[in-house]
Amino acid sequence: MALATQICTLLRKPRRRRLFMGQKDCAARSLLNLMQKLLDDSSLDLGEFRSPITTALVQLSRNSGLVPDRLILSYVSIQSPYAVDGGRYGDIYKGDLGGRAVAVKLTRCCGYDEDATLQLMKAFSKEAVLWAQLSSPFVVPFYGIFSVTGPAVRLCLVSPWMKNGSLTQYLAKTPQIDRLSLMRDVAFGLDYLHSFDPPVIHGDLKGQNILITDGHRACVADFGLCILAQNSALQITMSSSSNDHGSLFWMAPELFNDDEERLSKNFSTDVYAFGCVCYEIFNGQPPFFELPPNKARIAIKESRPPPRPMHPDLDDTLWMLVLECLQRDPESRPSMNEVAQQLSSR
Q: pLDDT tens digits for the chain (346 residues)?
A: 788 899 999 999 999 999 999 999 999 999 999 999 999 998 888 889 999 999 999 999 999 989 999 999 998 998 888 888 876 667 899 999 999 999 999 876 655 556 666 777 788 888 899 999 999 999 999 999 998 766 566 788 999 999 999 999 999 998 889 999 999 999 999 999 999 999 999 999 999 999 999 999 999 998 877 888 755 333 333 433 333 445 899 999 999 876 545 567 899 999 999 999 999 999 999 999 999 999 999 999 999 989 999 999 999 999 999 999 999 999 999 999 999 999 998 8
pLDDT per residue as tens digits for the range 130-148: 999 999 999 999 999 998 7
Q: Which amino acid is at 298?
A: I
Per-residue CA distances from 324 to 49, 193, 276, 331 (Å): 35, 20, 11, 11
Say what the pLDDT of residue 240 is: 39
The alpha helices in the chain, defined as continuous H runs, are 2-11, 14-21, 25-40, 50-64, 114-132, 167-173, 179-195, 267-283, 293-301, 316-325, 336-344
Q: Note the pLDDT of residue 328.
A: 94
Task: Please give the single-letter amino acid code of residue 256.
Answer: F
pLDDT at 207: 95
For residue 286, is the peptide bond before it cis, meaning its omega torsion is within 30 degrees of 0? no
> Tell me, what amino acid is at 37?
K
- Separation between Cα atoms, residue 17 and residue 28, nearest integer Å: 13
pTM score, whole prediction: 0.90
